[in-house]
Structures are given as C-alpha cells and as structure tokens.
Chain A
Amino acid sequence: AQSVTQLGSHVSVSEGALVLLRCNYSSSVPPYLFWYVQYPNQGLQLLLKYTSAATLVKGINGFEAEFKKSETSFHLTKPSAHMSDAAEYFCAVSRTGTASKLTFGTGTRLQVTL
C-alpha cells in the first residue's frame, strides 16, 4: 500500500520569501512521485515528477523538489514566492512498473502575502 502525508494544510509566506511545502511518502516498492497545483475551480496541473532518474527534479514556474529515500521525503521548494503561486498543492505517489492510480495527500493551501 502507498500513502502520502503533507504536513501543514495551510502555509503562508511573504512575496519574495522561500516556499517549502512538505511531503513524506510510504511505499513498499520504489515510487513515482508527483507534485500538482490546483487553482480554484480548475483541474490539477503537473508541476514536476520523479521517476527514478535524477533525485533533484526541476519543474515549471521555478519549483523544484528533491527525492530523499533515507527520509522518504519529496519536499517542494521555490526560492522566491510570487503572488501568482497562491493555490492548493498536492503531492502524489504511484507504483513503478505499472500505469497505476495516483494516491494523493490532503493538500497544502499556499497563501502569498505582500
């Protein structure tokens, strides 16, 4: 079985500050890991994915995440927050070797203040 835990349902940062959204996973097999962003009344947009290549993954909009097997973590970061980054962020895991379902965390709502 696989699961994802996102610490902090709400995170608030100032514009220009570092963004850090936490994700820890549990998986009995090597995982694929994903970060998605959801804006109000829209679907999910893929930010980045880890599929067993480089452990530091760069995504769109300046986001990146680092896969740390020893810590079972896949935290999302961005050096400098922008107002347009305000949204809901979801971490997800799936099994390798199959085209199987995604298991999502409960999400972190990012607020960016002036």
Chain B
Amino acid sequence: NAGVMQNPRHLVRRRGQEARLRCSPMKGHSHVYWYRQLPEEGLKFMVYLQKENIIDESGMPKERFSAEFPKEGPSILRIQQVVRGDSAAYFCASSQGEGKPQHFGDGTRLSIL
C-alpha cells in the first residue's frame, strides 16, 4: 500500500530555469495539497486541488507558480524562472476528504544555484 510518492527527491536548478515537482497521491485519495517548508520554519500551505480543479490557491505566489491535478497522472507543481528564494522543501499531501487526515510524501528539496 504505497504512500504519497513525490519525485524527484532532490532537484537542482539554475536561476531562470523551470522546476517541475510531481506528486502521486495515496490510492483512493482524491484531495491533494502542496506545502512549502523554508529552512528552520514550519510548513506553509500553497494550494489545494481535486481532480482537474483548483479548490484553494490562496497560498500560492501570484507569479511564476502554477499547479495542476489532471484526470490522469500525478499532480504537478510548476515553478517558472526560478530564483534563489524558491529554494525550499516542497511537500505534497493527500487525503480522502473532509475530516480525514492528510498523509505526506517525503518531499522534494529544491536548490537554486
């Protein structure tokens, strides 16, 4: 029974490049959440998606960041034209819905050179 799968575990990009982070939720989970963790800080919510729909993107920066959860395939968090400040650990979580706990992946650690 696989948990939440994120890949890659580590991603290095140069300033100005694009970063794509992937998340496959647990089997049977239709709710996906993305969080960002800066060094020595807690997790900050970015976006909440269900299949083909963005439910809440209140934590997502207005520019350069986008997320999707297509009908088929993993959820993707995309960061265009990365800058040094984007360096962080990005965590994906999934759940079965209201009142159910979120289960987290091991994260993608993004480093910007």
Q: Are B31 and A99 in contact (CB under 8 A)?
A: yes
For A99, list chain B residues within 8 Å (CB).
31, 48, 95, 97-100
Tell yes or no: B86 within 8 A of A by CB. no
Number of CB contacts from chain A to chain B under 8 A: 60
Across the interface, B91 reaches (CB within 8 A) one of A44, A97, A100, namely A44
Contact with A along B75-113 (1 / 0, CB 8 A): 000000000000000010101011111111111010000
For chain B, the bracket of interface size reads 20 to 34
Tell yes or no: B73 within 8 A of A by CB. no
Q: Are A100 and B41 in contact (CB under 8 A)?
A: no
A34 to B99 alpha-carbon distance, docked (Å): 11
For B106, list chain A residues within 8 Å (CB).
41-43
Total contacting residues, chain A, CB less than 8 A: 24
Known: A101-B33, A101-B56. A32 touches B104 (CB 8 A): no
Q: List the B residue with the shortest CB-CB distance to A109.
A: B40
Main secondary structure of the interface of A (DSSP, over half): loop
For A41, list chain B residues within 8 Å (CB).
106, 109
Known: A99-B97, A99-B100. A43 touches B42 (CB 8 A): no
